[in-house]
Amino acid sequence: MIIAVTDRKTSMLPFGEQFALIAKARPDIIILSERDMSASEYKDLALSCKAECDKNGVEFCIDKFFDVAKELGVKTVYVSLGTLREEKPEGFDKILTSVHNEKEAQEAERRGATLLIFQGVFDVNCKACRNAKGLAVLRYLLGSVDIPVVGAGGIMPDVFLEVLASDTAGVCMKEGFMRTRHPDEVVSKYREAEKQWQKMR
């Protein structure tokens, strides 16, 4: 599984063009993560983004604006652990949540999350050193929950196989999708790594 997360402020191309390219590349899920927008602004953007996802057979995920998700018939949402602690959003098939350690992962699962995004696989402030201490935490965390976990944080195509070898359900990327004119190449490299890992298992 490869999940794309949007950030219009860092988009290489005008956001609509960038999103269309990402959707055409067909990652498994795209999270529209524009949390600084008003609900009405977000809804307008979500309408066009959902149309691109529907056209390309990509699962569309709404971040934060659950009423918008219900209005548009979107069944996959992202919710912060803090929000999940207050109330589990009802009426959705998938609830994605970010976690940073085993304790948070167990809590998120207990509170109704169905897919976890583990943040901090690599040190995003030191990409040259590729400090992968997060991989050890990720491997330990995987054994503590019964729901899928994907790795996020400093992940680029050159480490796809390394992350998959931790037995995660996949990867989650933001910069890797927003700062390229060729998101199709990102997805293609992930699919290749996925096939390679399946052969190695």
pLDDT digits (tens, 9 = 90+) for 34-66: 989 999 999 999 999 999 999 999 999 999 999
Kindly state the tokens that stand for 40.
């009405």
- DSSP H helices in the chain: 15-25, 39-56, 66-72, 81-86, 102-110, 133-142, 160-164, 175-178, 183-200
Helix, strand or coil for residue 166?
A: coil
Confidence band of 24 (pLDDT split at 50, 70, 90): very high
pTM value is: 0.94
Kindly state the tokens that stand for 41.
């602004």
Euclidean distance between CA atoms 201 and 189, whole angstroms: 18
Euclidean distance between CA atoms 65 and 20, whole angstroms: 21
CATH class belonging to 2-200: alpha beta
C-beta separation of 197 from 160 below 8 A: no
* pLDDT at 130 exceeding the cut of 60: no
DSSP 9: G
Euclidean distance between CA atoms 178 and 84, whole angstroms: 27
Kindly state the tokens that stand for 20.
């269309």
Predicted confidence at residue 132, as pLDDT, reads 60
Kindly state the tokens that stand for 119.
């943040």
Euclidean distance between CA atoms 35 and 61, whole angstroms: 13
C-beta separation of 150 from 3 below 8 A: yes
Strand partners, 172: 3, 152
* pLDDT at 82 exceeding the cut of 80: yes
* pLDDT at 131 exceeding the cut of 70: no
